[in-house]
Amino acid sequence: DILGKADSWATLHWVGGFTLILQVVLYACQYNSEWGGCLLTPRETIDAAMNGGIVYFKNGVALLLAFAYAQTVKDLQLSKWLIDCLGDTSEAGLPPLVFALCAVFSLGTGTSKGTTIVFMPAVIPLAVHIGGMDNVSLLTTTISAVLGGAVWGDHCSPVSDTTVLSASASQVQLFD
């Protein structure tokens, strides 16, 4: 219950401010005897703080967009639409169907996290509709199909950030 009432926006502000203050104090306290001064000059400390602030700002924007996206999916009533379209699917056919849908979506978007965010709130009510609340096996298999399809599509996608970064880290040419 405490996590449900947590204010993530305020937490980001407090953590960002504390980190900024801690960064300045630690850089000022580390004395370099060879150079005869602090580890970083005041200008370098400010530059590092500004670069960190840019990352902090990007995280705040991403969080804001995630909330907007979640509200959009809720307003579109995607779970009701899936129940109407796929409500007569058999219990054995639901997990493979969900896996295929998630894999195609993730392959096209290049994000496993985004696929999970889109499909979990839509597919769980569908699994409950088909199998009932007591069918834990169908529910866990369907959730596993969402996660598996999302990760499969993300790893195979040429537009995935993890694919691009792992290729870059391995010094593989991305373009001919």
- How confident is residue 139, by pLDDT bands cut at 50, 70 and 90? very high
* pLDDT for the residue numbered 61: 76
Mean of pLDDT over the chain? 81
Element (H, E) at 37: strand 37-38
What is d(CA 115, CA 107) in angstroms, rounded to the nearest whole number? 10
Q: Which helix (H) or strand (E) holds 146?
A: helix 136-156
Please report where in the chains the tokens 């150079």 appear, as a residue.
35
Q: What does the pLDDT look like over 31-63, one tens digit per residue? A: 666 766 777 777 777 787 788 777 767 767 766
Q: What is the pLDDT of residues 160-173, one digit of tens each?
A: 777 776 776 777 77
Residue pair 173/135 in contact (Cβ under 8 Å)? The answer is no
Share of the chain above pLDDT 90, in %: 18
Spatial CA neighbour of 110 closest among 172, 170, 166: 166
| Residues 80, 94: Cα–Cα separation, whole Å | 16
Q: How far are the Cα atoms of 42, 62, 83, 144 from residue 79, in angstroms, in the given order? A: 54, 24, 6, 18
